Amino acid sequence: MNNELSSIIECLVFTADSALSTDRICELLNEFERSEIKAALAELVEIHHVRGGGFDLVEVAGGWQFRTRPIFQSYITRQIKTKTSRFSQSALETLAIIAYRQPITRAEVEHLRGVDCGGVLKSLLEKHLVRILGKKDIPGRPLIYGTSKEFLEIFGLKDLKSLPTLKEIQALDAVPLYERQEELQLEPEKVVPVETDLPFE
């Protein structure tokens, strides 16, 4: 393992404003081979995982980022006093539709939800969770929307293929087999003979 290369990569990832892609790291470190950089990244991931410290090196949003481990969230929120963003049900529904159906127009989102989504879309754009991808080549040239890199970072997704499938989502609601098991039918109680009932020879 090239310790100097690993240290340089750690510095770059640590100081980056957002997830740093492998391509960008290779561009910044053109004196090293791409294979060396990929090997150093894989080793860094393993080192931080085995160490079991407060953070890991994670591939997210098409790049690399240091992320605190979820089990320590309650301690981190003690230090960070900023108000956490809460999503309304309508915002989550709209975001889910865009994430799974992108690229998609506002009219298509509203058709699926059955209600006006103008305010919700504006809010998602302001939070940088959704971005405008362009205009659809149909009469009226409506804007088309898709999720952003920030969406992947906030939800800890490597890419859009990491979104849970419908089958995985349905499995969360399924009642575990042991909870669904029907009650076993017990045999009627047998009368245990007492000593006086036993036949004598």
CATH number of the domain at 137, please: 1.10.10.10
Profile the chain (201 residues) by mean pLDDT over runs of 10 residues. 84 89 92 92 90 88 87 80 70 90 91 88 90 89 90 83 78 59 53 52 48
Structure tokens at 44: 């860094």
Contact 10, 43 (CB under 8 A): no
Q: Which of 31, 46, 78 is the endpoint of a domain?
A: 78
93 in any annotated domain: yes
Instruction: Choose among 120, 130, 122: nearest CA to 150.
Output: 130
DSSP bridge partners of 60 = 63
In a domain, 120, yes or no: yes
Res 11: pLDDT: 92
Token couple for 149: 């890199």
Number of Cβ within 10 Å of residue 123's Cβ equals 18
Distances from the Cα of 105 to the Cα of 82, 93, 124, angstroms: 33, 15, 14
Same domain, 63 and 111: no
| Sign of the dihedral defined by the CA atoms of residues 152, 157, 161, 164, in that order | negative
Q: For residue 124, what are the domain limits?
A: 89-154
**Which pLDDT belongs to residue 175?**
54
The answer on 56 and 13 residing in a single domain is yes
Q: Are residues 42 and 64 in the same domain?
A: yes
Instruction: Give the β-pairing of 55-60 and 63-68.
Output: antiparallel
Same structural domain, 51 and 98: no
In Å, what is the CA distance from 33 to each residue of 6, 11, 25, 26, 97? 13, 18, 11, 8, 41
29 and 93 assigned to the same domain: no
| Domain termination site, one of 154, 170, 193 | 154
- The predicted model scores a pTM of 0.55
- Tell me, yes or no, whether 42 and 109 share the same domain: no
Residue 113 to residue 96: CA distance in whole angstroms: 11
Q: 120 and 74: one domain?
A: no
Q: What are phi and psi of 57, to 5 degrees?
A: -90, 120
The pLDDT of residue 186: 53
Looking at the 3D structure of the chain, how many domains does it have? 2
- d(Cα 131, Cα 151) in Å, to the nearest integer? 10
Torsion angle, alpha carbons of 94, 95, 98, 104, to 10 = 50
* Domain endpoint, select from 78, 98, 124: 78
Residue 9 · residue 41 · CB < 8 Å: yes
Residue 21 maps to a domain = yes
Alpha-carbon distance of 57 to 45, in angstroms, equals: 5
- What is the structure's pLDDT at 146? 92
* Residue 143 bridge partners (DSSP): 135
